[in-house]
Amino acid sequence: MPEARPLIACEIAPDRVLAGRVSLSGQMLEVYAARELAPGSVVPDLTESNIRQPEAVRNALREVLDEVAGKSKDVIAILPDAAARVMLLDFDTLPTNPKEADGVVRFRLKKSLPFEVDQAKVSYISQPAKESGVRVVAAVVMSKVLEEYEAAFRDAGYSPGIVVPSMIAAMGAAEAARPTLVVKVDARSTSIAIMDQQQLLLFRTLENMRGVTITGEQLAEDVYPSVVFFQDTYHLNLEHIYVSGLPDTGGAGPALRAQTGAEVHELVEPAQLGAGGSGSAPRWRMAGVVGALVSTTRLDVSLATQPYEDGHRFWVRWGAVLGTAAVLTLALLITTISSWMTASKDRAQISSLKDQIAKCDQERTRAQEVLGRTENRATRDQSQFINSLIRRKAFSWTQVFSDLEHMMPPELRVTSIHPEMAKDSNQLQIKLNVAGKSRDRALQLVHRMEQSPRFLDPHVDSETGQQGQPNGDTVAFEIASAYIPDKDSPPGADAKSGSTNSTGGPKTGTPKTGRPTPKTGSKPGAKPGPLKPAAIKSRVTPLANAAAKPLTPADRRPH
């Protein structure tokens, strides 16, 4: 894909400003215009200030560009040849690293410039040399001079994305498949370029004090040394000569043809210009603008400090990627907002639960303060003991055996069950001893206990191998688990748990282990809960009066 360039070009010459816009076909200028400048407004120079009347130049730029630019604000800025230096440098090789190559080129330029190369803007391209090695075409301009021209365009409301010397731009209008001489004359200089096979072989800028009044014989005399040098160096004869900058090219034609034998043409053809705008814009002065826009031989050098970027090509190349990124960003934003709203509800629920916990903690603290008083300590100890008995009585052997009946894998049997209250959490714990012929059966039992709502955190505490058992058991396990007796069973569990009494509660009696089932003294099926401090006194007093002596440790032992 060819490199994209602005559709507008504008040249600042010593005596006028010229501009044009290329057609969509790229073969001609669609419209062009010019504005004359007062003498002394622009004085081209390599080192001194060039734009002596900035306001006049800025106004001329704004008028001429507003006339041809349309909506576009990007422009190719064309500088006078006397404000820049174009040089040809030959190298055996050039580093492939751009930074290293720039250093090498600048080092070679250092000896040929009337100013420090570190204070200059350098742009170059490389092309194969005629015999061997690499030839570099370098354009150089002092940074402060370049800033003057770029500032004039920006002040007028336009962006100079490409900046080139006038002769480099004009060469684009010449067909250079065969040895070709291009001569461009302006008010202060005469520029000479010789090309062959679309490559630049010779470039010179000569001082011209006669301006556009120079005669054909005088121009031929100025050009002759360069032609002789070319013929002696490359052993080629010129076949075409293109001239621009003179009102009457025909006057220079015979003299140049006599020296070289080549055909002489005008650089800008009438077919390359469309509708002319206001102001004086003679065809012979439009070579720089035409060459920059209608190029057949283009040297892609640019001295712009802010290079041109094609917005249309950027959107064509990256539009789909940016669109996809925008959709993903929107999706992530919606997900984030949704998650934030859900989290807000969760935070509100957590805050409510924390408030409830805080209230419960406050009530617990107040109750503990009441029970902690000296006159209530005996009552507190008695209530704790009685509540412990009640929790023990809530344990149902029938329910435990009913649960285990549906969980026990084959070839595994229960040898003992030991319930107890955990001291740190007052939670009912069960230690279950089982024996069998396979370790996998015990692990299967633990897995089934994990799925039951009554058993919490079951795990194997110990494993013991057995030998020579009459029933053939080879391994014994101790399984520990928290037990929640009042946890609701899954639907249908009651139907599977065994027989029930007439009231619907579990049958009491002697389990298979031979241990009696404790009786709660309450209605069948009812489960007494912990005593509240307010009811402690009424329930403890009958118990204390009924006893002939204080409770002994044997009496306190669980049944």
As assigned by CATH, the class of the 1-87+139-174+267-309 domain is alpha beta
Tokens of 151: 């500032």
List pLDDT tens digits, range 316-363: 666 778 888 999 999 999 999 989 988 988 889 999 999 999 999 898
Residues in the chain: 559
Containing 408, the helix (H) or strand (E) segment is none
Neighbours of 352 (CB within 10 A): 10
List pLDDT tens digits, range 90-122: 999 999 998 999 999 999 999 889 899 999 999
3-state secondary structure 462-513: EEEECCCCCCCCCEEEEEEEEECCCCCCCCCHHHHCCCECCCCCECCCCCCC
pLDDT at 279: 60
In this structure, what DSSP letter does residue 424 have?
T
Above pLDDT 90, what percent of the chain? 37
pLDDT at 502: 34
Q: Are 85 and 113 in contact (CB under 8 A)?
A: yes
Cα 36 → chain centroid: 50
Q: 509 pLDDT band (50/70/90 cuts)?
A: very low
In this structure, what DSSP letter does residue 375 have?
G
- Partners of 191 in the β-ladder: 184, 205
Residue 236 contacts by C-beta under 8 Å, 6 or more apart in sequence?
179, 196, 230
pLDDT at 123: 94
Same fold for the pair 1-87+139-174+267-309 and 395-523: no
Q: 162 pLDDT band (50/70/90 cuts)?
A: very high
Neighbours of 536 (CB within 10 A): 20
* Average pLDDT, integer, range 12-29: 90
Q: Are 158 and 73 in contact (CB under 8 A)?
A: yes
In this structure, what DSSP letter does residue 493 have?
H
Angle formed by the axes of helices 143-155 and 54-68, to 10°? 50
- Partners of 136 in the β-ladder: 89, 126
Instruction: For domain 395-523, give the CATH number.
Output: 3.30.1360.100
Least confident of 114-118, 161-165, 501-505: 501-505
Tell which residue, 307, 354, 477, 341, has the closest CA to residue 409: 477
3-state secondary structure of 31: strand
List pLDDT tens digits, range 400-431: 888 888 888 988 888 898 888 776 666 788 89
- Give the start-to-end residue ranges of the domains of the chain: 1-87+139-174+267-309, 395-523
In this structure, what DSSP letter does residue 42 have?
B
Q: Are 62 and 138 in contact (CB under 8 A)?
A: no
Q: Give the E-state strand segments of 151-270 in sequence order.
A: 159-165, 180-185, 189-196, 199-207, 240-244, 263-266
Q: Is the pLDDT of residue 181 over 90?
A: yes
Quote the Cα angle for 39-45-49, to 5°. Answer: 75
* Average pLDDT, integer, range 311-315: 58
Angle formed by the axes of helices 536-546 and 377-393, to 10°? 80
* Average pLDDT, integer, range 489-495: 44
Tell which residue, 558, 474, 458, 462, has the closest CA to residue 518: 558
| String of DSSP letters for 123-151 | EEEEEE-SSSSEEEEEEEEEHHHHHHHHH
Q: Which residue has the tokens 């391209």?
A: 125
List pLDDT tens digits, range 41-94: 999 999 999 999 999 999 999 999 999 988 889 999 999 999 999 999 999 999
* Average pLDDT, integer, range 494-523: 39
As a dihedral over the C-alpha atoms of residue 111, residue 112, residue 115, residue 118, rounded to 10 degrees, the angle is -60
Rg, C-alpha atoms of the chain = 52
pLDDT at 510: 38
pLDDT at 395: 73
Burial (CB count <10 Å: 0-12, 13-18, 19+), residue 234 = middle
pLDDT at 423: 67
Q: Which residue has the tokens 């190719």?
A: 76
Q: Is the pLDDT of residue 523 over 70?
A: no
Q: Which amino acid is present at 317?
A: R
Task: Give dist(CA 64, CA 510) in Å, integer.
Answer: 114
Average pLDDT, the chain: 81
pLDDT at 253: 83
Backbone CA torsion sign across 296, 302, 304, 308: positive
Q: 214 pLDDT band (50/70/90 cuts)?
A: confident
Q: Are 77 and 163 in contact (CB under 8 A)?
A: yes
pLDDT at 507: 38
